[in-house]
Amino acid sequence: MEPQGYFKFERVEWQKLSKRAELPLTTQQLTDIKALNDRISLEDVQDVYVPLVRLLQKKYSDFEKWNRDKLDFLQIPMRKTPFIIGISGSVAVGKSTTARLLQVLLSNWFGDLKTQLITTDGFLYPNAELEQRGILNRKGFPESYNMNALIDFLGAVKSGRGNIEVPKYSHQVYDIVEGEYDVIDQPDILIVEGINVLQLPANQSIYVSDFFDWSIYVDADPELIEKWFLERFEVLLDTAFHDPTDYYYQYAQMPRKEAFKMAREIWRDIDLKNLKEFILPTRFRADVILHKTEHHVLDGVMVRK
């Protein structure tokens, strides 16, 4: 069922807005995008992301003006408040690729704005903690994240604090990496990407999404997402092949057929289950829904009315 609250654009209609956007892609951007992931379609960037960033820029100008007016009226000295964008969607749908693509586009077009990016994977409890709680096989489900720490982090960013450390999660280690951090230091724009960013946790009075000035949900048919999950699994196996310290080494040593059988089970029992129970129900909380089809091609956009 589709909700009433959105303007719905098929790809052909949406891409007409690209002309109105008046933001030509620079050679530097094209190079940066290819370096990010050489399978990203540049046509998609031109047709879908250019209008999206233009719309985002309008929202940002509005946000800046409101902040200025608010502080002026309240007689509070001017200070920077970061604009926070949330990006949600299934495991393996392409959230981090979308987030990094947006960061490249924003950084190049609006060079005077500092755009930083985090993933909520860093707020997963370490494996040892998950094990102690008996939820190691629930990684990614709401209870596997330290939501209080994520909310505290967002509060600190919004209040203008600098040099904030965010724990780092590694897919290769399959755990939080002790002693490694990303540092978020007073950005103008912060992109927060993760499966849980639009969720309403049971025992907090503040939601993660309360901090968002804009949110995007990346959507696709679960059967396609499973395909992307397995493709990425294969890349992880190839990377792990000669490295016994890599979590995927154990799978890389198995006959491929057997490894894929296990990956399909992980998808079915963990990530697909999580998508159906906890992620998909948050889709219509997003300001923008990007819909993808085969080969990650974007075929539709919905914008909240």
Ligand X SMILES: Nc1ncnc2c1ncn2[C@@H]1O[C@H](COP(=O)(O)OP(=O)(O)OP(=O)(O)O)[C@@H](O)[C@H]1O
Ligand Y SMILES: CC(C)(CO)[C@@H](O)C(=O)NCCC(=O)O
Chain-centroid distance of CA 197 in Å reads 8
The reply, when asked if residue 48 is annotated as ligand binding, is no
Q: Which of positions 55-94 make contact with ligand Y (CB under 6 A)?
A: 91
CA–CA gap between residue 267 and residue 128 (Å, rounded): 22
The binder of 228, among ligand Y, ligand X, none, by C-beta within 5 to 8 A per type, is ligand X
The reply, when asked if residue 95 is annotated as ligand binding, is yes
The binder of 270, among ligand X, ligand Y, none, by C-beta within 5 to 8 A per type, is ligand Y
The reply, when asked if residue 93 is annotated as ligand binding, is yes
Under 8 Å between Cβ of 271 and 90: yes
The binder of 96, among ligand Y, ligand X, none, by C-beta within 5 to 8 A per type, is ligand X
Minimum distance from residue 140 beta carbon to ligand X (Å): 8
Under 8 Å between Cβ of 187 and 80: no
Q: Which of positions 105-164 make contact with ligand Y (CB under 6 A)?
A: 121, 139-140
Sheet hosting strand 6-10, strand order edge to edge: 6-10, 298-304, 288-292, 214-219, 83-89, 189-193, 115-119
The reply, when asked if residue 91 is annotated as ligand binding, is yes
The binder of 285, among ligand Y, ligand X, none, by C-beta within 5 to 8 A per type, is none
Looking up tokens 């399978």 gives 39
Phi, psi of 124 (to 5 degrees): -65, 145
The binder of 192, among ligand Y, ligand X, none, by C-beta within 5 to 8 A per type, is none
Q: State the residues that interact with ligand X by CB under 6 A.
A: 37, 39-40, 89, 91-97, 195, 228, 231-232, 235, 296
CA–CA gap between residue 25 and residue 44 (Å, rounded): 12
CA–CA gap between residue 145 and residue 138 (Å, rounded): 10
**Closer residue to ligand Y (CB): 71 or 270:** 270
**Closer residue to ligand X (CB): 81 or 96:** 96
What mask of x and - would describe binding to ligand Y in positions 202 to 241, judged by CB under 6 A? ----------------------------------------
The reply, when asked if residue 96 is annotated as ligand binding, is yes
Going by C-beta distance under 8 Å and a sequence separation of 6 or more, which residues neighbour residue 264?
Answer: 226, 230
The binder of 139, among ligand X, ligand Y, none, by C-beta within 5 to 8 A per type, is ligand Y
Minimum distance from residue 261 beta carbon to ligand X (Å): 20
- The number of residues that bind ligand Y (CB under 6 A) is 8
The closest alpha carbon to 25, from 4, 53, 67, belongs to 53
CA–CA gap between residue 50 and residue 219 (Å, rounded): 19
Q: Residue type for 224, please?
A: L
Binding positions for ligand Y, rule: CB under 6 A:
91, 121, 139-140, 195, 266, 270-271
Which residues belong to the annotated binding site for ATP? 89-96
